[in-house]
Amino acid sequence: MRKLLFALVACVLALMSTACVGGSKYEVLGDCVVYRYWTFSFGWRNDTLPGADVATFKQLSNWLGHDSERVYYEDKLVPGVDVSSLEVIRKPLFRDKRDYFYQADPMHVRDMASFEVIKWFEDDFWARDAQCAYYDTVCIDDADLPSFTILEMSTAKDKHHVYYFGRVLPLADPATYEILNNSVYSRDKSHIWCGNDLLEDADYATFTVDDLNTAHDKHGGFRWERRDTIAGE
């Protein structure tokens, strides 16, 4: 549940900071390379790139740069990237001839030739190749690709499982699983969830979603995954 809340907050902050983030860039200051970016707490910051060679440094985008030997995602050194085949996809995704990288982390893509992003949600995405599906860096080894369907940013399913942020949602029946009214609540034929939290005390027959993060049943209200003090109708 916390991960879903954090994702919603991150989306709001991303929208608020678009203009500032657009000004992020790499700069040479004396004998070092810095990544210049905006923070709400401290304003503009300059973080030095560890080990960057000033003479050979190049900026590929305002979030990806490299010198003759090293690759940097923002201010983070990304080990193991082949500089000669480095390619920008879309923030925060890039690749070389061997693998794709999400931010500063390798994805360990199984089949490079068939890899494709299915759906973007701000900086997160669902993807697949000929062997498996992915949520960001999470590889779903046993996904049934012909039946794989994306429901929303956090959730997808195939004929075998429901996946929440790339992980199997326990007990969920994919044939009957559904998101309720574009809210944080979902259900299958037997269970109700808020995000990945099973609402064990929810009355299935009378459970009703009120808005994004509140609901009620005959026993009372819910706010997110917790019982609220608002009486159900």
- The pLDDT tens digits of the residues spanning 67-121 come to 999 999 999 999 999 999 999 999 999 999 999 999 999 999 999 999 999 999 9
The reported pLDDT for the residue numbered 18 is 43
| Cis amide prior to 92 (ω within 30 degrees) | yes
CA nearest 136: which of 160, 111, 103, 110? 103
How many whole angstroms from its chain centre is CA 223?
24
pTM: 0.85
Q: Which pLDDT does position 8 carry in this prediction? A: 53
d(C-alpha 143, C-alpha 37), whole Å: 38
93, 117 Cβ separation under 8 angstroms: yes
pLDDT at residue number 1: 60
Cis ω before 174 (30° cut-off from 0): no
What is the model's pLDDT at position 7?
A: 55
pLDDT tens profile 124-181: 999 999 999 999 999 999 999 999 999 999 999 999 999 999 999 999 999 999 999 9
- Statement: residue 15 has pLDDT above 60: no
Within 13 Å of residue 124, how many CA atoms lie on the same side as its CB? 18
Residue 99 has a pLDDT of 98
Q: How far apart are CA 213 and CA 198, in angstroms?
A: 15
Residue for token digits 């609901």? 215
Q: Considering just the CA atoms, what is the radius of gyration of the chain in Å?
A: 22
